[in-house]
Amino acid sequence: LPSRRLISHVRATSNEEDASKAAAATADSGAPTIFDKIINKEIPSTIVYEDDKVLAFRDISPQAPVHILVVPKLRDGLTQLGKAEERHVDILGQLLHAAKIVAEKEGILDGFRVVINNGPDACQSVYHLHLHVLGGRQMKWPPG
Ligand code: TR5
Task: Judge if the beta carbon of residue 63 lies within 6 A of ligand 1.
Answer: no
Q: What pLDDT, in 10s, does the model give residues 13-45?
A: 345 666 566 556 678 999 999 999 999 999 999
String of b and e for 1-21 (b: at least 16 CB within 10 Å)?
A: eeeeeeeeeeeeeeeeeeeee
Active site residue 130: yes
Q: CA 9, 13, 18 angle in degrees (round to 5)?
A: 105
Residue to mutate, 48, 59, 75, 81, ligand 1, most ligand atoms under 8 Å from C-beta: 59
How much is the mean pLDDT over the chain?
Answer: 89
What number does the ligand 1 atom closest to the CA of 43 have? 24
Ligand 1 mean position, distance from CA 58 (Å): 9
Is the overall model pTM greater than 0.80, yes or no?
Answer: yes
Task: Judge if the beta carbon of residue 125 lies within 6 A of ligand 1.
Answer: yes
Between CA 143 and CA 132 the distance in angstroms is: 13
| pLDDT confidence of residue 25 | 63
What number does the ligand 1 atom closest to the CA of 63 have? 10
Between CA 49 and CA 47 the distance in angstroms is: 6
Predicted complex ipTM? 0.99
